[in-house]
Amino acid sequence: MERLQRLRQAVRRFWKKTHMNQIIILAGAVFLLAFLGFFWYFAATANVESLKKGLAQSTVIYDKDGDMASKISANRTEGVSIDKMPDHLKNAIVAIEDHRFYQHNGFDVRGMSSAFFKNIVAGRITAGGSTITQQLTKNALLSPERTYKRKVEELFLAVEIEKKYTKDEILEMYLNQVFFGHSAWGVQNASRTYFGKDVEEIDLSEAATLAGIVNAPSALDPYNHMDRAIKRRNTVLGAMKKYGMISDKEYENAKKEQLVLEDRGRDPIKGKYPYYVDAVLDEAIKTFGLTQDEIMTRGYRIYTEMDQNIQSSLEKIYDNDRNFPQGMGGELVQSGSILIDPKTGGIRGLVGGRGEKVFRGFNRATHLKRSPGSTIKPLVVYTPALEEGYKPDSLLKDEKMTFGKNYSPDNYNGQYQGEVTMYKAIEDSINIPAVWLLNEIGIDKGIDAVERFGIPLQKNDRNLSIALGGLSTGVSPQQMAEAYSAFANDGKRLDSHIITKIVGPTGKTIVERKQKETKVTSKKVAKDMTSMLLNVVESGTGKGVNVSGYQIAGKTGSTQLNNQNRNGTADQWFVGYTPNLVGAVWMGYDRTDENHYLSGLSSQGVVPVFQTIMQGTLKYTEPTKFDVDSINTQIQKQYEKDHPFKTKAKEFNKKLKDSTEKLRDKAEKGHKKMKEKFKEGKENWKDLEDRVKEKIRDIQGD
């Protein structure tokens, strides 16, 4: 105890002797000055004078060659002057967002203090306390993250903006770029999107509704949440009354008004390739953490893997209804397709649907979750079987049987051959051999393989029905194309992607993709699979896909209808590839029922669609050959090797037949020529005879 007391006294003497209090205070002051100095410098050097120009920039999408492909804009260039905005709109925004807007110089100490204490109570940042100027700063110059560092940056920049612009200019810029939900940026677009009229025509109730939406655009969207939107509108009207902007009578009348919605807004995608651009936004948001608001308003340059020739061809095919089966019940047969470079994983083109396109709507090339049917067989059954020592000509059982207690799958045509080779089972897409083989090698082997191919699985997918595509959540064309890319790339799978890098408006690279490669299987197994999948296209269920100069391997797939009284399919798939391009196509209805389904098999439905796509897009890739032959060609070569005399005799007979046909053609041509000459001579004799007779008549007449 005495030692501890002596230690404390020694520390106190040292503290006083070295003036530690003064040192700490001085260090704190220096740190604070440096801290504030940094942010002051940051604000002073920020080019706030170019704010108006910056708000008019579009985000530009570039293709794989660095050429401009499309633009994304929040339509801020269609903003309106503050003079054309009705006073009740300006008052509504000020009342609910920043009622001291005309009193402060960029930041409001009262508002920030209130927000600070709210955050302390909540234990996290829930309230921003931002003024309209600070919100403009955040939207135009800063990231949307909620941190105290960003709040300080926001504060200093807001002060600089207030020095450069008048209050009306600040309010005009804010109202012309703020996001109102439903793909509408700026009050002009919001007015047309929600009420079908220009901003100068909206009344008090409509203005209060728009002002209320800004706080939470998705949650307060009147198209989806009318009750919430009205409640929020009334809150705005209450604030306007509180601050003397409207009278009691105006308040009551506006509260009673019914909102009449009418959408005359515009799609914010200004350029071409809307489905591809939608997918660009999805990837930028999900993979790189950007927000839609940032992308639409910051003027980024986004570099992608798009091939504009392939994308344009794909869109033309989908715009032509004759390329697809006729729909039932007045609905379109829907489809989604995607094309990937197997060597890089780059998505060269995609289309997410047919008919009317909705901005950032459902994209069937990337968002779809449907059973892949038999297209999963090479992934979950035949690849792991080859890895376990099976060969393309291994015999597999094909007879009616029950697996476990109650799983009794059927072949589609109800026919069973007893035994078939592996390549024949793949070629004709026979079900029983696939299920039997998965049972033989073990479900764990299949699960491991399909996960290596990048297909996500659920716990309840661990059963033999996975051999026929029985998945809990299904797959998208993007996932299937990426999986099959391993066969085209010697067993290696690269993550499918669109974006290579994103560059900010200042020229700084914000994000850049790092390539990720996964070894799925060996080069030999990939070649064996390709040799069997070439057979599918040459003589199996994919027969009909044939582009001159290109070798195409692939697999069809379909899912059965729940209604056994109907003859058709719910989903149809084709996943195919060349050495340089992998394509996956899904076709079906968004909602399959007894009145909406695909009649016939994949060979009559999706196969012709895939053929049209390959015909239109492969010409923009190199016609490289696989370094493996199809099973059909291998069998033919082996036959010629084993039976050289028969082969030579066959070749001699063919030559003899060709020679005979040539002689026959020559004889027929000679005979035809002689016949024509005889006919011509006969006509000449008849003409001479007629002239002699005419001469005799003349003599007799004389």
How many residues are there in the chain?
A: 702
Phi-psi region of 48 (alpha: psi -120 to 50; beta: other; left: phi over 0): alpha
d(CA 388, CA 107): 69
- CA–CA gap between residue 324 and residue 334 (Å, rounded): 9
The answer to whether 181 touches 221, Cβ cutoff 8 Å, is yes
Q: Is 661 a catalytic residue?
A: no
How far is residue 442 CA from its own chain's centroid?
A: 35
* SS3 state at 235: helix
Q: 538 an active-site residue? A: no
Number of C-beta neighbours around residue 665 at 10 A: 10
Is residue 278 within 8 Å of residue 352, measured between CB atoms? Answer: yes
CB atoms within 10 A of CB 16: 10
Q: Is 390 left (phi over 0), alpha (psi -120 to 50) or beta?
A: beta
**Strands 59-62 and 301-304, sheet pairing:** parallel
**Contact in structure between 206 and 92 (CB atoms under 8 Å):** no
Which residue in 438, 427, 439, 432 sits closest to 411, CA to CA? 432
649 token code pair:
């005799």
Please compute Rg for the chain using Cα positions.
Answer: 37
Place of tokens 């989806």: 224
Sign of the four-CA dihedral 659, 663, 666, 668: negative
Give the Cα separation of 228 and 232 in Å (integer).
6
Segments of 200-316 assigned E as strands: 301-304
**CA-to-CA distance for 186 and 595, rounded, in angstroms?**
43
Catalytic residue among 130, 374, 531, 558: 374
Residues 620/313, Cβ–Cβ less than 8 Å: yes
Active-site entry in 58, 70, 97, 154: 97
Amino acid present at 535 = N
**Sign of the CA dihedral 185, 186, 189, 195?**
positive
Q: Dump the DSSP string for 357-385.
A: --TT---TTTT--B--GGGGHIIIIIHHH
Q: How many CA atoms are closer than 13 Å to the CA of 445, on its beta-carbon side? A: 17
Going by C-alpha positions, the residue among 367, 359, 363, 342 that lies closest to residue 351 is 363
Joined together, the tokens standing for residue 30 give 């220096």
φ/ψ of 396, rounded to 5, equals -120, 150
What sign for the dihedral angle of Cα 606, 612, 617, 623? positive
In one-letter notation, the amino acid at residue 293 is D
Tell me the CB-side half-sphere exposure of residue 171, using CA atoms within 13 A: 24
The catalytic site residues sit at: 97, 374
